[in-house]
Amino acid sequence: MFSINENYLKLQGSYLFSNIASKVRAYQAAHPENEIIRLGIGDVTLPLAPAVIEAMHKAVDEMSVQETFRGYAPDLGYEFLRSAIRDHDYKARGVDIALDEIFISDGAKSDSGNIGDIFSERNRVAICDPVYPVYLDTNVMGGRAGSFDQATGRYSDVIYMPCTEANGFLPDLPEERPDMIYLCFPNNPTGMTIPKEALQRWVDYALQVGAVIIYDAAYEAYIAEPDMPHTIYECDGADRCAIELRSFSKNAGFTGTRLGFTVVPKKLMCGDVSLNSLWARRHGTKFNGAPYVIQRAGEAVYSEAGLAQTAAQVAYYMNNAAMIREGLTSAGYTVYGGVNAPYIWLKTPDGMTSWEFFDYLLENANIVGTPGSGFGPSGEHFFRLTAFGSHENTRAAIERIRKMG
C-alpha cells in the first residue's frame, strides 16, 4: 500500500482565499439581488497595458511562422527578459546581479513554495505573524512546521515573529535561532514596509547566525517613500544570505498571465555548495519555462511605453489606497498601510474578531475583505482591504462603510 505525504494532513482548513471565495459564493447564492464589492484577494482589475498586449500579439504571430516559432524556453528564461530585469530592477539601483543569477518562473507564489525543495527538512523556519499563508503552508507540506496547537493557532517548530501595532508591524529579531527567514516588504498583509537601515539589520543578523532570507519583493513597485529598499540587495552582504522573489502580477497586472522571477546570487553558499546551482538543477528538472509569449510580454513592461503605462496603473491603485485610508480614518477606523503598498490593514471596531467583522461587512455593506486572523494569530482583530478594485467600486465601498456607521 502506498503512503501519502502526511505533512499535508497537518494543514489547517483550506487555503485562506479559497475559504473566503466559498463563503462569498454561499452568501451570493442566498442573496442574488445584492451587489457585492470584492476587496478581498489581492487580484488586479485593470487590463494589461497596451505595450504589453502589443508585444503579446507580436509574439503570438511569431509562433505561427516556421522561422520564428519557439519550443521549450531556455532553462533560466530568455536572455532578452533577464537582461531587461538585470538592467532596470538591479543595475539602475546600483546593484550588480548577473544574468545567470536570475531565474524566470510562472510567478512568486510558485517560487515561494518551491524554494523549500532545496532546503533540509531539519531547518528552523521563521515567519512574520501575520503572514502571506503560502510561506507557512508550504513549510507545513515540506515537514518543517511540527504539530499544530489549536489553542495558540501555531505550529510547534515554526518561529513566529509578531508584527503588531507595538513594533510598527516590523518583526523583531527572533530569540530562537532560525535557519530560514521569510520576509516580505512592502508587506502583505499589513501594507507596511521596511526602511533600508532596518532591513540591513536583518541581513547582518542572517549573516551572523548563518540563516538564509527568502525575501519576497512582489510589491516593490508600490514604494512611494524614499529610504525604502526596492530590493534586498541594496543592503551590504545580502548577496551572501538572501534569495529574492519578484513578480509581474502586481506591478504589471500579470495575475492571470503568470510571470515572475527569483534571484539566487552565486555568492550564496551553504558550506561549499552553491544555492544558485541547486536552484538551477531544481528549475531545470521540474520546470519547463514560462511561455515565450508571456516572457515577451514581460520584456515589454520594461520598454519606455511599458514603464510609463504600468506606472500609471500602480498610481491608479495607490489612488484607491489613499481613498480607503482617508475614508476609513474619517469614519473613525484605525488604519495602517496603503502608503507604500496596495493593502490597507484596519483594526476591527468594537473588539470584533476578524471573522466577525468579515461577516458583518459582507452582510451589512456587501463588501468582501480578508480577515486578519487568516494570516496568523497576531492578525486577530485586524482586517485587510485591497486597493486593486476599480475607482468606482472603491468609492462605493467607502460610502457603504460610512453609512454602516
Shortest Å, Cβ 109 to ligand MLT: 4
**Site of grid cell 547582518:** 204
11, 24, 36, 41: residue in contact with ligand MLT (rule CB under 6 A): 41
Which helix or strand (DSSP H or E) is residue 306 part of? helix 304-330
Q: What are phi and psi of 181, to 5 degrees?
A: -120, 125
Angle at 84 between CA 308 and CA 81, to 5 degrees: 110
Q: Are 289 and 104 in contact (CB under 8 A)?
A: yes
Shortest Å, Cβ 384 to ligand MLT: 8
State which residue has the least CB distance to ligand MLT.
Answer: 42
Q: If DSSP codes are grouped into helix, strand and coil, which group holds residue 37?
A: strand
Question: How far apart, in whole angstroms, are the C-alpha atoms of residue 175 and residue 126?
Answer: 11
Interface size with ligand MLT, residues (CB under 6 A):
6
Q: Which stretch binds ligand MLT (CB under 6 A): 38-46, 49-57, 138-146, 229-237?
A: 38-46
Q: What are phi and psi of 233, to 5 degrees?
A: -75, 0
Q: Are 349 and 82 in contact (CB under 8 A)?
A: no
Q: Which stretch binds ligand MLT (CB under 6 A): 18-26, 36-44, 63-71, 397-405?
A: 36-44
Question: Closest CB to ligand MLT among 132 and 317?
Answer: 132
Question: Closest CB to ligand MLT among 131 and 194?
Answer: 131
**Site of grid cell 550564496:** 268
Strand partners, 182: 214
Q: Which stretch binds ligand MLT (CB under 6 A): 37-45, 79-87, 195-203, 263-271?
A: 37-45
188 interacts with ligand MLT by CB under 6 A: yes
42, 186, 298, 369: residue in contact with ligand MLT (rule CB under 6 A): 42
Q: Are 389 and 397 in contact (CB under 8 A)?
A: yes
Site for ligand MLT in 344-403 (CB under 6 A): none
Which CA distances in Å does 135 have to 131, 142, 212?
8, 11, 14
b/e sequence 238-257, b meaning 16+ C-beta within 10 Å: bbebbbbbbbbbbbbbbbeb
Site for ligand MLT in 126-145 (CB under 6 A): 132
Cell of residue 164, nine digits: 503588531
Task: Give just the sign of the alpha carbon dihedral 15, 264, 88, 48.
Answer: negative
Shortest Å, Cβ 189 to ligand MLT: 6
Question: Closest CB to ligand MLT among 130 and 306?
Answer: 130
Site for ligand MLT in 289-318 (CB under 6 A): none
Q: Which stretch binds ligand MLT (CB under 6 A): 41-49, 147-155, 197-205, 315-323?
A: 41-49
Cell of residue 306, nine digits: 511599458
**91 to 130: interface string for ligand MLT, x by CB under 6 A:** ------------------x---------------------
Question: Closest CB to ligand MLT among 22 and 330?
Answer: 22
Chain residues binding ligand MLT by CB under 6 A are: 41-43, 109, 132, 188
